[in-house]
Amino acid sequence: MENLSIKKYKNEFTAAFDGDESGLLNPRQTPGFLYAKTMPTPVKKPELLGWSEDLASELEINTPLEDDLNILGGNLVTPSMYPYAACYAGHQFGNWAGQLGDGRAITLGEWENSKGQTYELQLKGAGPTPYSRRGDGRAVLRSSMREYLMSEAMFYLGVPTTRALALVSTGDQVLRDLFYNGNAAYEPGAIVMRAAPSFLRFGNFEMLAARQDEKNLQKLTDWTIAQFYPHITGAHKVIQWYKEVVEKTATLMVEWIRVGFVHGVMNTDNMSVLGLTIDYGPFSFLDAYDPDFTPNTTDLPGRRYAFGKQHTVAYWNLGCLASAIAPLLDSTEELVAELEAYEHIYFDKYYTMMGNKLGLDKVRQPDRNLVDLFEQTLAQVKPDMTIFFQLLTDLPETMIHAGKNLAGEDILLHFKPCFYAENSAVAADAFCNLIQIYIQRITADHIINPAGRLLRMRAANPRFILRNYLLHMAITDMEKGDPQLFLKLKEALKTPYSSAHDEFFKLRPEWANEQPGSSTLSCSS
């Protein structure tokens, strides 16, 4: 175990590529460079609010002392660190946005543990960078708490994600216009230290392609493969690498759908080439099941990034990555073929995942039809997604054995705790029909056994999710100096498949329906 302040950091990315080493913080274009040296801006009084013990243990990092806390707050940079902000571009809401870059994040260095695992350590909210554009590079407690808790929650849910090591308050006030409507107000500042093997994204490659910098595009691609896909070698390694990015991205989308997660801003600069959930902003878990739900007010009215569209947006984004690396290939035929394979890969993974959520041992073609029926019916009746699948898991054996004789009233009574409102007679009939068909399916399967079905369902269906209204309450309390709910949620998110924290196993309360920061969020969130 080592302290942040005495560790000798690796700096392989900055050693491999040219950067703007001027240290100037004024917003500007940086052609020819993949990053810009950027020193964090000191804060008034860093105070540790959250520390991820499990991640620290994995990385072999000691609990912070005074110098370590100053690093987390951006007040200290050690001699072996090389702080920088990365340069990348992206498509935002389907439109080319040109150069973007780390406007609020500063990488300090790369931490290697005794097992040879290397993680990039990055401060989010540590001050302006050359890519901040019109921003101040700061983050507020609200957004920082959301990222800190959600990235850790996703990890324990089993979803590929960046991690959060620490959350510190800064003692400074930050001016923010939450909904970009002219109502700016000061909020307490905070910084998250986040960790990942790499924060490289589709946009890093798009930037180089847009600048027709084929030399650096080839170099970055080769470096990425060597660092993070070392098993890929040979003359066709670019295609093989892209194929794996397609597969990892499909896997990530399926995992998001499994737990009901909506990212909210799936721009290409927010897509990881390692298949990680990256850049937590206006995200949300589903409460009521609604494929058209988007938590991001900036995404209205088109709902480009709605829950049910995420897998198609991923395909579009993969197309942008393919276009970026196309100059490295003699022909785009194989590249197009790998992109088109995404649909088959995604749906194979999706139906397998849904089979696990339903407790099916195998997913046959008729089962795909059953999954489709679940989708259609749940979108019609809009139950709470998490509670519905828990109630489905906990179907009493008496109901299962009743089979065709099971009364609709009994079905509706069992599932009553998952509904936000009473359904029409037509919707209620459709729901009861769905449950009866499902019971017939699991009782007709002579291979499956109840224990196996329950094991699959309990592993696939979380019981605790970090709902936005809980985050809103925890943030409100923390701003008042009360960390109790934050600490409770920090513990609850570690065991999302157990009933250990059933005090949070309930429907979203009515007050949260129209509460800004709970029901409505923005890219500022």
**Three-state DSSP string of 132-182:** CCCCCCEEEHHHHHHHHHHHHHHHHHCCCECEEEEEEEEEEEEEECCCCCC
Report CA 427 to chain centroid distance, whole Å: 33
Q: What angle separates helix 333-358 from helix 365-381, to the nearest 10 degrees?
A: 70
The answer to whether the beta carbons of residues 260 and 317 sit under 8 Å apart is no
**Three-state DSSP string of 297-335:** HHHCCCCCCCHHHHHHHHHHHHHHHHHHHHHHCCCCHHH
Residue 69 CA to residue 61 CA, distance in Å, equals 13
Number of neighbours of residue 465 by Cβ within 10 angstroms: 25
Cα-based distances in Å from 56 to 63, 64, 161, 497: 8, 10, 16, 23
- 293 class by beta-carbon count within 10 Å (0-12 exposed, 13-18 middle, 19+ buried): middle
Give the pair of three-digit tokens for residue 283: 């995200």
Residue 193 CA to residue 164 CA, distance in Å, equals 6
The answer to whether the beta carbons of residues 178 and 170 sit under 8 Å apart is no
* Sign, Cα dihedral of 523, 421, 308, 272: positive
Return the DSSP state at 417.
G
Closest CA to 292 of 371, 382, 386, 352: 382
The answer to whether the beta carbons of residues 190 and 170 sit under 8 Å apart is yes
Report CA 87 to chain centroid distance, whole Å: 21
Residue 191 CA to residue 198 CA, distance in Å, equals 19
Residue 213 annotated among the catalytic residues of the structure: no
Which is the catalytic residue, given 20, 102, 172, 269? 269
Residue 72 CA to residue 42 CA, distance in Å, equals 10
The residues annotated as belonging to the active site are 269
